[in-house]
Amino acid sequence: MQVNSKQSIIISALLIFIVLPLLLFYLADVPSRTFLKDSISILTILSFSLMLQQFFLTRLYTKTSQSFKLSQISTIHKTLGYIILPVFLLHPFLLVAPRFFEAGVKPLDALIIMLTSFESLGVVLGLIAWGLMFLLGITAIFRYQLVKKFSINYKAWRLFHGSLTILFMSLASWHAIDLGRHINLSMAVFMIVFVLSGSVLFSWNYVFKSEKLTGAKR
């Protein structure tokens, strides 16, 4: 069977951003928990992994932009974004949700203790990342209104969106590496490699060959 470039991109994306994180999840030396808790962990890990994939579902990554129409890439990017956004926004609540079915600390108390543990760097990073994700989501949903209201170039908005994503992903990765239950060396390397490569891809295109993409004249 002949595999064309489109199929090879889809297969590699599925393998790298869905199969690999799932494999790392199952190979991690972490005691398994209830079905609900493990499902929440898998949902979070897959959302994070698909968020990493977003860097490559843009016009910046020539391999995808040459094989697919930009409108197709844009549709997948937006759809994934709208699926991932609620998962990340609900992340703190999903963490305490299993407490509804267990004895011990009540879900609301657990949430308050968790969100007010400012001594923990991981918690502070998580709170900042949550705020950035909220901003990222809101500015993405209302992008046309923002572009119109502030009379900015749409390309400049893309630069803002990408920069905010890099900032969010860096802090979110740090938060996950510090506090993540299933984060071992291989999972940490997976995250760092894709955050770095996504950041380099973005910076390379917007900083070093910017004129066509940003409209900025240097």
Q: Distance of CA 110 to CAs 16, 102, 130, Å? A: 34, 12, 18
Q: Which is nearer to other proteins, 77 or 182 (CB)?
A: 182
Token digits of residue 178: 């510090």
- 47's torsion region: left (phi>0), alpha (psi -120 to 50) or beta? alpha
Helix (H) or strand (E) holding 30: none
Interface with other proteins by CB under 8 A: which residues? 30-31, 33, 37, 95-96, 98-99, 102-105, 109-111, 113-114, 117, 119-120, 122-123, 179-181
Q: How far apart are CA 184 and CA 190, in angstroms?
A: 10
Work out how close the CB of 103 gets to other proteins at its nearest, in angstroms, rounded to a whole number: 6
Work out how close the CB of 165 gets to other proteins at its nearest, in angstroms, rounded to a whole number: 25
For residue 209, the 8-state DSSP code is S
Q: Which is nearer to other proteins, 24 or 73 (CB)?
A: 24
Size of the chain, expressed as the number of residues it contains? 218
Work out how close the CB of 54 gets to other proteins at its nearest, in angstroms, rounded to a whole number: 25
Q: Which is nearer to other proteins, 100 or 150 (CB)?
A: 100
Work out how close the CB of 120 gets to other proteins at its nearest, in angstroms, rounded to a whole number: 4
Work out how close the CB of 205 gets to other proteins at its nearest, in angstroms, rounded to a whole number: 36
Q: How far apart are CA 48 and CA 17, in angstroms?
A: 9
For residue 142, the 8-state DSSP code is T
Q: How far apart are CA 52 and CA 188, in angstroms?
A: 13
